[in-house]
Amino acid sequence: MPELPEVETVRRSLEPLLAGRRIVSVRFLARRVAGGKPDPLASRLKGQIIHSVGRLGKHLLFELDHGLLDIHLRMTGKLVWNGMTGPYTRAVFELDKGLLAFDDVRQFGIFVWRQAQPRLGPDALDLDAVTFSGLLRKRRGAVKPALLDQSLCAGLGNIYVDESLFEAGIHPRARASALSKPRLAKLFASVQRILHAAIAAGGSTISNYADGTGQRGFFQQNHQVYGRQGEPCPVCGAAIRRIVISQRGTHYCPRCQKR
């Protein structure tokens, strides 16, 4: 479910609740979420203080006494503060004050213990136009898969890539390296504007997403092309098209977005 704006919204909702709390115990209800080794991870986490809740791209990073707990929500992961456990609860943190549960229908979400930040490209919100343009110039393939590549730039996912390319008037199959300087500058500006607007709206809730306190997002109301195949383009009225690029549903306006 979550891309950068959703993960940032979760981070902001949890930071004041978790900072300074001690982990009394961690119970894993599915092995997979702990990378197949629940016992070593649970004992590793036990007793440590959560000093802060950070984020890099789509990764939540709990800064503990002796390292980082890297939480990736993948498609359906959700952190729930002081809520009820259910059939999809995969982990429960008992803190000195409060409970934090991890629910995840599809079980793609994963917790990893780290001594250093995960190896990813720069966070999408921590980029400048020149760096961004330089990264894309080196890519010979289509612009959409380049933007989805977390080792190039971290945080963008399927929704925000489609929305950014639409706003910038760039076809998702356009070759990244062939984009002119002004078009790259426009793309950068669109990415930044959309990510900031989405965070301000609490992210996009398509079906399930909610932050740590159960708040849903409402940026989905601002989607111009994502999930709107067949509807008229809000700018020119042409029918929004859905195609598949690198196995991902891709939504765009065939008239407004040029190669």
Partner DNA sequence: ATTACTACCTGACAGC
Partner DNA sequence: TGCTGTCAGGTAGTAA
Which residue in 11, 44, 55, 58 binds DNA (CB under 7 A)? 58
Q: Is 58 a catalytic residue?
A: yes
Name the phi and psi angles at 45, rounded to 5. -80, -30
CB 18 within 8 A of CB 50: yes
- Cβ nearer to DNA, comparing 17 with 142: 142
Residue 247 sits in the site that holds DNA (CB under 7 A): yes
Query: Which one is catalytic: 3, 8, 163, 167?
Result: 3
Residues 77-136 that bind DNA (CB under 7 A): 87, 105-108
Q: Is 94 a catalytic residue?
A: no
27, 148, 166, 167, 253 from 3: Cα distances, Å = 26, 10, 18, 18, 22
Residues 146-205 that bind DNA (CB under 7 A): 146, 148, 150, 157-159, 203-205
- Cβ nearer to DNA, comparing 94 with 158: 158
* 129-137 helix and 181-200 helix, angle to the nearest 10 degrees: 120
Q: Is 122 a catalytic residue?
A: no
- Cβ nearer to DNA, comparing 23 with 167: 167
Q: Is 3 a catalytic residue?
A: yes
Query: Which one is catalytic: 2, 5, 38, 172?
Result: 2
CB 19 within 8 A of CB 52: yes
Lay out the site mask for DNA across 5-24 (x = CB under 7 A, - = otherwise).
Answer: -x------------------
Residue 145 sits in the site that holds DNA (CB under 7 A): yes
- Cβ nearer to DNA, comparing 132 with 209: 209
Interface positions with DNA (CB under 7 A)? 1-3, 6, 32, 57-58, 72, 74-75, 87, 105-108, 138-142, 145-146, 148, 150, 157-159, 203-209, 217, 246-249
Active-site residues: which are they? 2-3, 58, 248
